């Protein structure tokens, strides 16, 4: 028996981007553990990845290309060869370009794998074809933008620093489900005496780890932040020296915005009692080194960008960045020492190419005389994860649309394809990874041969490029070549660190010692007042659920600990615990005359969805929680997912998704 241990990286769209040690026996993955040498993973994996071998060797893996034989969306396919699949795709693309131009082709992809090469694999090809380019707005671009409006490209605080904080706020972060390795630092901070606050809209499992829990009305955190700022100023808890040296516009904020955000007014907007708001503001203002770890949930609202911009004022006002353990981490993106520029769309197009919002996929496919004739989907499952599912599916059903789906599994999206291509999992391909939750990068080397005839994104794109007659030698490069090119271009990484990375070791990128005080804005200061933006000052704007979304219940569709977006749905689950379901406060259940376990229908102007109902005190009245983005076979009607209820309305800034800014009504169907 040949037994090997290979260093790899967890490829999923998770801030932790864990280092893995993969054991293979005779070419099969038999064990996956966390890499103890990884500065953030520290040897531990989450429950999803602790059995990655079950995903890699799942009997549901696709092993050959498939061609549709039944009607669109019927999921009836027959196996074909790669030669036939690639020739068909090239022929259809060429014909489409000839008749309608490059803009008749649209690739759609997201973060099925976070590897820099496989994630961006389609860009070099589709940029050359002049195809339609979408932004990557399905997750939380408004969060990034909100931070940037006042902080520019300033580094977020290293998450490990949190262990030195005396006041930790996990704000809109269900860390136990989505960022479990931060709990290592939260526990260390607690052991040193820190107080931990969690701010959410329902009592998530992470709330159990907190000393204090604050529950806000959905989408009102911007007002909460302004209420804290009001109290900090009123009670002289602001750091005047820090503000004088490093902040632009604080006085304008105090003069023009804060007067409206008295504790009483903020309590009315947010539902947070005045006493609790005062306690939070006081704890934050009197702490030596408060640390905010900001999750993404609160940015998926119509006011998401503004909310983050307002929260980002807090550490500036108290000068948290001056102290070890103090600061804020929204995301670690500002820092990338290693980047995927050589895969970039603009570089390959030779110009800056505008984007369309990816959350508008349904609208784009359904425009009258839609210009899109060919859709190439990889590393994403939009038939289940994109908002306004009914509209997306109407688009995918169009007979004049030629759809290719490159996937590991026959997902809900793959069922709508004309051609399905089998994709490798991360352990079957080489790649290099950053993280958006910490500063460690690593290479994940191929550990086993591809399952069946599956191919990586990059290998597949190279085949299609050649079949289209593109002779550029860029498409002769292997993923390994590209890793070397990426490292060669990484001028801020030392040769010693590059050698370490190439040897398979994770490397924590060396942030400058004074990184927290290097404000990478135009002025070099924290720009609370920013005339480039409208409005020029942070303020509070109401979310869609207070203005246009309709329904008596707020729908929370936050992550499930067992799956990641719609990934891991191929797993065999413990059926004792409800899978896809709807959770209500017991009083609401009673008022609606519902019995636990019965089937209910959630409905709104977007669509309907049937699920079994359960009751839980953790859920606030007039709220329904449905965890996770499950494949449609997990819903009671087996024909819809949670996104039958969400809308493609955009965020205030950066054209992002508003998944959580939704209301529904409920009726019994049994
Ligand atoms: N197990 C698991 N892990 C995951 C994922 C998954 O699906 N499952 N998804 C991955 C992906 S793609 C991402 S982007 C990250 C996201 O991970 P996070 O950054 O944690 O973001 P969310 O889980 O969307 O939301 C976090 C919390 O915000 C709360 N929330 C929602 N609206 C509001 C609000 O208005 N105010 C406040 N204060 N809280 C609010 C939700 O109830 C939730 O508990 O997780 C990644 N990790
Ligand atoms: N209602 C609601 N909707 C949501 C969310 C929510 O909280 N609520 N979360 C949103 C968020 S934050 C995000 S980021 C999006 C994510 O939405 P998606 O981008 O659709 O992410 P996944 O559902 O994880 O689907 C990724 C797919 O890529 C495939 N894949 C994995 N590796 C590879 C590979 O190497 N090559 C190819 N070709 N395929 C591969 C996987 O099998 C999987 O089916 O969903 C969003 N949708
Ligand atoms: S899903 Fe996240 S926490 Fe789990 S192993 Fe992957 S990177 Fe780590
Ligand atoms: Mo995401």
Atom of ligand 2 nearest to the CA of 140: 12
Q: Which residue has a Cα nearest atom 12 of ligand 1? A: 13
To test the pocket of ligand 1, the residue of 119, 295, 302 to mutate (highest count of ligand atoms within 8 Å of its CB) is 295
**Residue 6 pairs with which residues in a beta bridge?**
22
Comparing CA positions, the residue from 611, 606, 621, 612 lying closest to residue 659 is 606
Helical (H) or strand (E) element with 126:
helix 123-129
132 and 161 belong to one structural domain: no
Does residue 627 belong to any structural domain of this protein? yes
Distance of CA 268 to the CA centre of its chain: 31
To test the pocket of ligand 3, the residue of 9, 12, 51, 54 to mutate (highest count of ligand atoms within 8 Å of its CB) is 12
Distance of CA 397 to the CA centre of its chain: 27
In the listed set 56, 76, 92, which residue is the last one of a domain according to the structure?
Answer: 56
Gap from CA of 173 to ligand 3 centroid (Å):
15
Question: Is residue 388 classed as helix, strand or coil in its secondary structure?
Answer: coil
319 and 253 belong to one structural domain: yes
167 and 254 belong to one structural domain: yes
Confidence band of 335 (pLDDT split at 50, 70, 90): confident
Percent of the chain with pLDDT over 90: 98
Does residue 168 belong to any structural domain of this protein? yes
Measured between alpha carbons, how far is 92 from 78 in angstroms, rounded to an integer?
Answer: 19
For the residues of 524-541, what is the DSSP string, one character each?
SSEESS-TTSSSSS----
Gap from CA of 241 to ligand 3 centroid (Å):
41
Q: What is the mean pLDDT of residues 337-356?
A: 97
Is residue 323 scored above 90 in pLDDT? Answer: yes
Is residue 334 scored above 90 in pLDDT? Answer: no
Q: Which residues surround ligand 4, an ion (CB under 5 A)?
A: 139
Gap from CA of 371 to ligand 3 centroid (Å):
39
Does residue 311 belong to any structural domain of this protein? yes
Among left, alpha and beta (phi > 0; psi -120 to 50; other), residue 622 is: left
CB atoms near residue 615 (< 10 Å): 17
Gap from CA of 288 to ligand 3 centroid (Å):
31
221-234 vs 274-286: helix crossing angle, rounded to 10 = 60
98 and 163 belong to one structural domain: no
Q: What is the mean pLDDT of residues 37-50?
A: 97
Domain CATH code at residue 293? 3.40.228.10
User: What local confidence, expressed as pLDDT, does residue 369 receive?
Assistant: 81
Q: What is the mean pLDDT of the chain?
A: 97
Q: What is the mean pLDDT of residues 141-153?
A: 97
With a CB cutoff of 8 Å and minimum separation 6, the contacts of 242 are 316, 318, 319, 321, 322
Measured between alpha carbons, how far is 422 from 86 in angstroms, rounded to an integer?
Answer: 12
- Structure confidence by residue, pLDDT tens digits, 561-595: 999 999 999 999 999 999 999 999 999 999 999 99
Of 334-348, 542-556, 630-644, minimum mean pLDDT range: 334-348
**Residue 665 pairs with which residues in a beta bridge?**
603
Measured between alpha carbons, how far is 600 from 624 in angstroms, rounded to an integer?
Answer: 12
Measured between alpha carbons, how far is 198 from 627 in angstroms, rounded to an integer?
Answer: 19
What the block records as the tokens of 581 is 């379901």
Contact 522, 166 (CB under 8 A): no
350 and 318 belong to one structural domain: no
Gap from CA of 620 to ligand 1 centroid (Å):
17
| Torsion angles phi and psi, residue 540, rounded to 5 | -115, 135
- Structure confidence by residue, pLDDT tens digits, 165-214: 999 999 999 999 999 999 999 999 999 999 999 999 999 999 999 999 99
Measured between alpha carbons, how far is 404 from 170 in angstroms, rounded to an integer?
Answer: 40
In the listed set 17, 38, 56, which residue is the last one of a domain according to the structure?
Answer: 56
What the block records as the tokens of 519 is 């404000």
Does residue 500 belong to any structural domain of this protein? no
Percent of the chain with pLDDT over 70: 100
User: What local confidence, expressed as pLDDT, does residue 54 receive?
Assistant: 98
Question: Cα–Cα–Cα angle for 441, 406, 484, nearest 5°?
Answer: 30
298 and 353 belong to one structural domain: no
480 and 385 belong to one structural domain: yes
With a CB cutoff of 8 Å and minimum separation 6, the contacts of 11 are 112, 113, 114, 115, 118, 425, 426, 431, 433, 444
Does residue 536 belong to any structural domain of this protein? no
- Structure confidence by residue, pLDDT tens digits, 596-635: 999 999 999 999 999 999 999 999 999 999 999 999 999 9
Q: Give me the residue label for tokens 């590059």.
A: 498
287 and 428 belong to one structural domain: no
Does residue 35 belong to any structural domain of this protein? yes
To test the pocket of ligand 2, the residue of 13, 375, 385, 432 to mutate (highest count of ligand atoms within 8 Å of its CB) is 385
Q: Give me the residue label for tokens 């997990």.
A: 634
Atom of ligand 1 nearest to the CA of 175: 20
DSSP code, position 481: H
User: What local confidence, expressed as pLDDT, does residue 185 receive?
Assistant: 98
Does residue 201 belong to any structural domain of this protein? yes
Is residue 104 scored above 90 in pLDDT? Answer: yes
Is residue 450 scored above 80 in pLDDT? Answer: yes
- Structure confidence by residue, pLDDT tens digits, 460-504: 999 999 999 999 999 999 999 999 999 999 999 999 999 999 999
- Structure confidence by residue, pLDDT tens digits, 270-318: 999 999 999 999 999 999 999 999 999 999 999 999 999 999 999 999 9
614 and 560 belong to one structural domain: yes
Contact 422, 416 (CB under 8 A): no
Is residue 549 scored above 80 in pLDDT? Answer: yes
Measured between alpha carbons, how far is 591 from 289 in angstroms, rounded to an integer?
Answer: 46
Q: Which residue has a Cα nearest atom 25 of ligand 2? A: 380
Q: What is the mean pLDDT of residues 227-253?
A: 98
- Structure confidence by residue, pLDDT tens digits, 649-666: 999 999 999 999 999 999
With a CB cutoff of 8 Å and minimum separation 6, the contacts of 5 are 21, 22, 23, 24
What the block records as the tokens of 421 is 């291509």
| pTM for the whole structure | 0.98
Is residue 84 scored above 80 in pLDDT? Answer: yes
Measured between alpha carbons, how far is 105 from 126 in angstroms, rounded to an integer?
Answer: 8
Q: How many residues does the chain have?
A: 670
User: What local confidence, expressed as pLDDT, does residue 333 receive?
Assistant: 79
Q: What b/e sequence results for 474-513 when a residue is b if at least 16 CB atoms lie within 10 Å of its CB, and e otherwise?
A: bbebebbebbeebbeebeebeeebbebbeebbbbbbebee
The HSE-up count of residue 670 (CA atoms within 13 Å, CB side) is 15
Atom of ligand 1 nearest to the CA of 562: 1
For the residues of 611-655, what is the DSSP string, one character each?
EEEEE-TTSPTTEEE--S---GGGSSSSS--GGGS---PPPSSTT
Confidence band of 370 (pLDDT split at 50, 70, 90): confident
Q: Which residue has a Cα nearest atom 31 of ligand 1? A: 297
User: What local confidence, expressed as pLDDT, does residue 336 receive?
Assistant: 81
Domain that holds residue 443: 66-137+340-495
Confidence band of 240 (pLDDT split at 50, 70, 90): very high
Q: Give me the residue label for tokens 């960045």.
A: 321
Does residue 125 belong to any structural domain of this protein? yes
Q: Which residue has a Cα nearest atom 3 of ligand 3? A: 46
Contact 172, 199 (CB under 8 A): yes
For the residues of 402-467, what is the DSSP string, one character each?
EEEEEESB--TTGGG-SEEEEB--GGGS-EEE--SSSSEEEEE---SPPSTT-B-HHHHHHHHHHH
**Is residue 113 lining ligand 2, measured as CB closer than 6 Å?**
yes
Closest ligand to 8 CA?
3
- Computed over its alpha carbons, how large is the radius of gyration of the chain? 25
Domain CATH code at residue 21? 3.30.200.210
User: What local confidence, expressed as pLDDT, does residue 52 receive?
Assistant: 98
489 and 369 belong to one structural domain: yes
Q: Which residue has a Cα nearest atom 8 of ligand 3? A: 18
The domain tally of the chain equals 4
**Is residue 423 lining ligand 2, measured as CB closer than 6 Å?**
yes
User: What local confidence, expressed as pLDDT, does residue 149 receive?
Assistant: 98
Measured between alpha carbons, how far is 516 from 538 in angstroms, rounded to an integer?
Answer: 22
What the block records as the tokens of 552 is 């008596």
DSSP code, position 517: G
Pocket of ligand 3 (CB under 6 A): 10, 12, 14, 16-18, 45-46, 48-49, 180, 564
484 and 396 belong to one structural domain: yes
To test the pocket of ligand 2, the residue of 380, 625, 644 to mutate (highest count of ligand atoms within 8 Å of its CB) is 380
98 and 166 belong to one structural domain: no
Q: What is the mean pLDDT of residues 117-141?
A: 98
Measured between alpha carbons, how far is 630 from 625 in angstroms, rounded to an integer?
Answer: 14
Domain CATH code at residue 584? 2.40.40.20
Measured between alpha carbons, how far is 543 from 549 in angstroms, rounded to an integer?
Answer: 9
To test the pocket of ligand 2, the residue of 629, 656, 657, 660 to mutate (highest count of ligand atoms within 8 Å of its CB) is 629
Contact 113, 430 (CB under 8 A): no
Distance of CA 308 to the CA centre of its chain: 16
Is residue 92 scored above 90 in pLDDT? Answer: yes
Q: Which residue has a Cα nearest atom 7 of ligand 2? A: 558
Measured between alpha carbons, how far is 478 from 326 in angstroms, rounded to an integer?
Answer: 43
Pocket of ligand 1 (CB under 6 A): 13-14, 139-140, 171-174, 177-179, 199-202, 204, 216, 218-219, 221, 295-298, 556, 558-561, 563-565, 660
Is residue 368 scored above 90 in pLDDT? Answer: no
Q: What is the mean pLDDT of residues 430-452?
A: 97
């Amino acid at each position: 028996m040949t037994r090997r241990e290979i260093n790899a990286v967890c490829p999923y769209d998770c801030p932790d981007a864990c280092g893995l040690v993969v054991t293979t026996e005779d070419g099969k993955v038999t064990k996956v553990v966390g890499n103890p040498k990884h500065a953030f993973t520290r040897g531990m994996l989450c429950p999803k990845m602790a059995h990655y071998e079950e995903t890699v060797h799942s009997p549901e893996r696709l092993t050959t290309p498939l061609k549709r034989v039944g009607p669109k969306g019927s999921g009836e396919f027959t196996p074909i060869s790669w030669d036939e699949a690639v020739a068909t795709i090239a022929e259809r693309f060429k014909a489409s370009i000839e008749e309608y131009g490059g803009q008749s082709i649209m690739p759609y992809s997201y973060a099925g794998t976070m590897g820099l090469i496989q994630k961006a694999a389609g860009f070099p090809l589709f940029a050359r074809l002049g195809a339609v380019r979408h932004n990557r707005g399905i997750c939380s671009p408004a969060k990034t933008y909100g931070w940037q409006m006042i902080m520019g490209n300033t580094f977020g605080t290293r998450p490990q620093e949190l262990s030195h904080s005396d006041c930790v706020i996990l704000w809109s972060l269900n860390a136990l489900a989505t960022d479990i390795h931060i709990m290592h630092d939260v526990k260390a901070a607690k052991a040193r005496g820190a107080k931990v606050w969690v701010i959410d809209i329902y009592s998530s499992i992470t709330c159990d780890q907190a000393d204090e829990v604050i529950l806000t009305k959905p989408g009102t955190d911007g007002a909460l932040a302004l209420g804290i700022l009001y109290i900090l100023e009123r009670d002289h808890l602001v750091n005047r020296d820090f503000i004088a040296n490093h902040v632009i516009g604080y006085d304008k904020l105090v003069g023009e915005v804060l007067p409206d955000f008295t504790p009483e007014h903020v309590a009315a907007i947010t539902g947070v009692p005045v006493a609790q708001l005062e306690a939070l503001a006081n704890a934050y203002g009197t702490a030596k080194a408060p640390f905010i770890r900001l999750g993404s949930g609160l940015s998926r609202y119509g006011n998401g960008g503004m909310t983050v911009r307002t929260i980002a004022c807090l550490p500036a006002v108290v000068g948290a960045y001056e102290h070890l353990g103090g600061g804020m981490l929204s995301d670690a993106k500002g820092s990338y020492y290693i980047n995927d520029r050589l895969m970039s769309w603009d570089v390959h197009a030779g110009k800056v190419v505008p984007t369309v919002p990816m959350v508008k996929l349904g609208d784009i496919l359904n425009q009258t005389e839609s210009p899109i004739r060919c859709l190439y989907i990889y590393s994403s499952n939009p038939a289940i994860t994109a908002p306004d599912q009914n509209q997306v599916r109407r688009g995918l059903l169009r007979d004049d649309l030629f759809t290719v789906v490159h996937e590991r599994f026959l997902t809900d999206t793959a069922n709508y394809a004309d051609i399905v291509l089998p994709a490798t999992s991360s352990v079957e391909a080489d790649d290099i990874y950053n993280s958006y939750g910490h500063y460690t990068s690593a290479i994940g080397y191929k550990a086993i041969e591809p399952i069946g005839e599956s191919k990586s994104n990059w290998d597949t794109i190279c085949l299609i490029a050649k079949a289209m007659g593109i002779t550029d030698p860029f498409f002769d490069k292997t993923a390994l070549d590209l890793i070397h090119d990426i490292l060669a271009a990484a001028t801020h990484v030392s040769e010693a660190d590059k050698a370490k990375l190439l040897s398979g070791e994770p490397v924590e990128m060396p942030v400058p010692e004074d990184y927290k005080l290097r404000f990478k804005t135009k002025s070099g200061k924290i720009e609370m007042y920013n005339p480039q933006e409208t409005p020029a000052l942070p303020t509070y704007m109401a979310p869609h659920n207070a203005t246009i979304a309709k329904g008596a219940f707020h729908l929370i569709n936050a992550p499930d600990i067992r799956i990641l977006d719609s990934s891991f749905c191929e797993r065999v689950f413990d059926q004792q615990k409800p899978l896809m379901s709807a959770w209500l406060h017991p009083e609401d259940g009673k008022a609606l005359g519902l019995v636990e376990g019965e089937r209910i229908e959630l409905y709104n102007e977007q669509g309907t969805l049937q699920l079994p109902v359960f009751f839980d005190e953790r859920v606030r009245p007039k709220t329904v929680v449905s965890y996770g983005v499950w494949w449609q076979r997990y819903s009671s009607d087996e024909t819809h997912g949670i996104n039958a209820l969400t809308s493609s309305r955009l965020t205030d800034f950066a054209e992002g998704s508003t998944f959580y800014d939704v209301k529904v009504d409920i009726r019994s169907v049994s």
